[in-house]
Amino acid sequence: MQILIRAILIFMITSLQTQLSHHTEDAEYSFTPLIGTCDDCVNIHGMESTSTGTPPPLTGWELPEVNGSIDIVPWHETTGKRKIDPVGFYQTENNLALFYNSSPAGDYANWAGRPHSTSQDGSLIATKDMLKWENYERNPVLNEPQYNWQGQNRTNPYALVWHPEDELFYTFYGDFAEGGDNDKYPGRRALGVASSKDLVHWEYLTKDEPLFHISDMKELAPDLFENIEHHTRDGRVYAYGAIWHEGYIYLSVGGSANGINYSMIVRSKSVMENWERVEIEGGAPRPMPVYYDGKWYSLYNMRAEGNPEGRAIGLEVADKLTGPYEQKGQLFDIQHRTSAGHSRQLFMHKGTWYVAFRVQIDEKNNRSMRIARAG
């Protein structure tokens, strides 16, 4: 009998140790991208979706809270910067992770092309339930390239895409052109690109010159610049999102020139060359539209219904990437100050639709990430 009891105790202890071990493993976050297909995800970079039949709903959205806060990822819990922009979600072997842009917000006194000490980074965070997030211990993973065409300590990735044929992630980032308004790179901002296999180790591909400059934008879309007399004056170029679709990288780009805003979509099979403009009916949406079950979906900013001082996020839909896009109206009131048009992501994970977006939470320009969930 004693032998039997001892055997049972040993079995119970071994079983408990195994459970604790599994629990410990389950508590660990992976940051290694999992590339393949999935049946219940959409716009998860690196994952080709086969989901159908459940489009983003127009009603029933909720804003979950964590410890009484609707800021799911507060700025002070990131890399120590005061800003977070969701750039691209991706699947790992046991969780969902996010490549995000973090930077010092609020102190812009030393900008305008002059030397400064602030920097913007690409970093990683991961979650299993959308409510609790953990930073990658080696953040930032993308920072301070400082090549010939760039200003000092400036990198702000806003677009991430997996290219299945190249088997690489690409991120497009904006930076100050060195010296501001000069002969070689007139205007303030230009656009570069970097590549990675694992989102941790990056190679800058635009070392000697930018991928796009404000002059390239005018060449691609002269009609958008016809009312801009001096397009290089304070000219800026941003990336608003990227997708891979049927052999092409589609990139939403835009910015401002001499106080006038512009936006367009360009595409290329080779990331470093042969970019061409894609004609969009009714104007280019931003961020990059999401393809799902034969339709294209995009988000837009709007005045909150019943709250003229507030902002909301709306949904627009098209039968083709090239439009026209029909605005369907408000999904939800963001219940905060502002949300940048390029800093939001519509995605499906485990069969549920989400919108992640950046918000300004105070007058000091501190910013956090919030997540809305479709009910």
Per-residue pLDDT band for 265 (boundaries 50, 70, 90) equals very high
SS3 33: coil
DSSP state at residue 7: H
Q: Check residues 48 and 315 and name the one with the higher pLDDT.
A: 315
Per-residue pLDDT band for 300 (boundaries 50, 70, 90) equals very high
Q: Name 75's bridge partners.
A: none
Structure tokens at 118: 């602030």
Q: Round to whole Å and give the CA distance between 82 and 250.
A: 30
Residue 13 pLDDT > 50, yes or no? no
Q: Round to whole Å and give the CA distance between 58 and 314.
A: 9
pTM of the predicted protein model: 0.87
Predicted confidence at residue 283, as pLDDT, reads 83
What percentage of the chain exceeds 90 in pLDDT? 50
Residue-range domains of the chain with CATH? 30-374 (2.115.10.20)
Predicted confidence at residue 63, as pLDDT, reads 93
Per-residue pLDDT band for 19 (boundaries 50, 70, 90) equals very low
Predicted confidence at residue 150, as pLDDT, reads 77
Model confidence pLDDT, tens digit, residues 27-47: 589 999 999 988 899 999 988
Residue 252 pLDDT > 80, yes or no? yes
Please, what is the Cα angle at 198 between 197 and 204, to 5 degrees?
Answer: 60
Rounded average pLDDT over 188-216: 92
Rounded average pLDDT over 162-183: 82
Q: Write down the residue that tokens 């410990």 correspond to.
A: 24
Model confidence pLDDT, tens digit, residues 84-130: 889 999 999 999 999 998 876 555 444 444 444 457 789 999 999 99
134 to 29, 106, 127, 171: CA distances (angstroms): 8, 24, 7, 22
- Mean pLDDT for the chain? 83
Burial label, 258 (beta-carbon count in 10 A; 0-12, 13-18, 19+) = middle
Question: Terminal CA-to-CA distance of the chain, rounded, Å?
Answer: 56
Give the H/E segment covering residue 312: strand 307-318
Question: How distant is the alpha carbon of residue 373 from its chain centre?
Answer: 17
